[in-house]
Structure 1
């Protein structure tokens, strides 16, 4: 996003229906683009909120036999003890922080921004929220995990978001990122943030995707964290 803006198209944006006083920045999953999520948010939009769905750069992914696809960072494996692309995760996180700064320059304070994502994007949104100095309005983490979890709590000591509100959602029938990853992640988050600010919802029979009930839960969370002003 920064420095390689030639290769990454501009984010998909759902503009606020009236003056934007808050924003949601939402990061898609591996191999996807921001367009589908922009469409999903258009269906649950709140009038004063702007929705920004950036596209990940195209890069080779070890997990998928080195094929190039939209990816925020490399994924080497999906086991709990798999090696992680530390440099790639940190660089991607800096790019997201720059995107938040851009919205702040546009007049939306960081505490009026909810950061979120699905799968790999959700993982990046959690890591970014726990390592940034920017105080956020909340985090929506869907079907994901916490990357570089062994670097916490050291990494989160620098964070302005120890009191952040988190909505974490997971499908109970997820074959790609098992619901156990969600359970482990929420337990870890409760040691890093105020546990009473963390909501964990699971959805029976939901695979690695979203469902209407989940989208309504996201809408309610956004409206609570980003009320009209």
Structure 2
């Protein structure tokens, strides 16, 4: 299953709110990336009251890439939806995200004003964390992603707060890495327990696009006014 252990991460990239900080989005990048690119995207949104925290994944071995070391939240063993998953690594990454959430609460931001999100692998961590946090918070942004450990989904989603959790899911229907059918399956799964779920598709591959980012901004400003 590869190496799930992680080295010390670099400090998150922070995008300050344009005005008084009353809410926070913590957004995790995808495999092999860093928080800097997504921070630039959120900076361009000029969010009035929302601070964006874009952490950097630890450097670790990735089985799918011949064991090479790269920024990764957990090991990717294969691309099949029914293949083995790095459960320990997913839970470790989720605990990192939960610590970042706790840091925001300690700084004075209420949990119901904190949203989590991510792209691809980072979005998978965000979705898993959303299902397992154990207490209500502001919502989730999942881009070009999937629900990890989906075979355990019914066991993960017993908390009452989940049904009212706002979730925005965006995906390119030409995605060659995380196929669109995975996104559809994830959407279908989420809708079995979540009432406030939005699923949008875009003419793109494994990336983002201006329209998706506009939709994300609208979701953020609506959910965290």
Q: Do both proteins adopt the same fold according to a TM-score greater than 0.5, normalized to the shorter chain? A: yes
Q: Deviations over 1:160-209 (max 9, x none)?
A: 33310111000011111111010000000011222xx11100002x0100
Task: Provide the aligned length of Structure 1 versus Structure 2.
Answer: 221
Distance 1:158 1:8 in 2: 31
Partner of 1:200: 199
Distance 2:7 2:151 in 1: 34
TM-score with structure 2 setting the length: 0.95
Distance 2:153 2:7 in 1: 34
Q: Which ranges of structure 1 fall in alignment gaps of 5 or more residues?
A: none
- RMSD (CA atoms): 1.4
CA contact (8 A) 2:138 2:224 kept: yes
Q: Which ranges of structure 2 fall in alignment gaps of 5 or more residues?
A: none
CA contact (8 A) 1:24 1:114 kept: yes
Deviation at 1:9, TM superposition (A): 0.8
CA contact (8 A) 2:28 2:35 kept: yes
Single out whichever of 65-74 and 132-141 deviates more from structure 2: 132-141
Partner of 2:87: 86
Where has structure 1 moved over 2 Å in runs of 4 or more? 4-7, 158-162
Distance 1:57 1:95 in 2: 10
Q: Deviations over 1:47-77 (max 9, x none)?
A: 1110000000000000111000000000101
SS in 1 for 2:117: strand
Q: Note closer, same or farther for the CA distance 1:6–1:187 as it changes in structure 2 (3 Å cut).
A: closer
Partner of 1:44: 45
Partner of 2:106: 105
TM-score with structure 1 setting the length: 0.93
